[in-house]
Amino acid sequence: MSYEIVRETPSVDVYLEIRRAAGLGKKSVEAAERGLPNTIFGVQVFHKGQPVGIARLVGDGGCHYLAVDTAVLPEHQKHGLGKLLVAEVTQHFRDTAPLGAYLMSVTPVPELGWANGYEIVPAPEVAMYTWQRMD
């Protein structure tokens, strides 16, 4: 299959649809409308002119960054697109972040990070989270 990389943040509709189809947690329209404009770097993968994958880099632009929203439509998974998306976000971080900056990712697929030089947070540190539940 032929794919095209486009370095831009997805629209709200594309963001919500690809996240839903890929099985990532639900986000409200309001959350997407507020969050997407704050993206430091966004990347999408297109196939035949249609978006099939997304990833974003968010953070404070100096000290702390987070690789988020890596998602690929199920019918386009297992073609290396997840690793490609993480590589794009990671490379942008490496090219633009100041020395001492920290990039973190939370993922159910750690192989995507390992392929791009990420390491597991060592003990005794613990990664934690909380969220506004959508029932």
For every one of its 135 residues, what pLDDT tens digit does the chain have, with 9 covering 90 and above?
A: 799 999 999 999 999 999 999 999 889 999 999 999 999 999 999 999 999 999 999 999 999 999 999 999 999 999 999 999 999 999 999 999 999 999 998 877 778 778 878 888 888 888 887 888 887
**In CATH, what number does 4-114 get?**
3.40.630.30
Give the CA-trace dihedral at 98, 89, 66, 44, to 10 degrees: 140
Task: Please state the domain extents for the chain.
Answer: 4-114
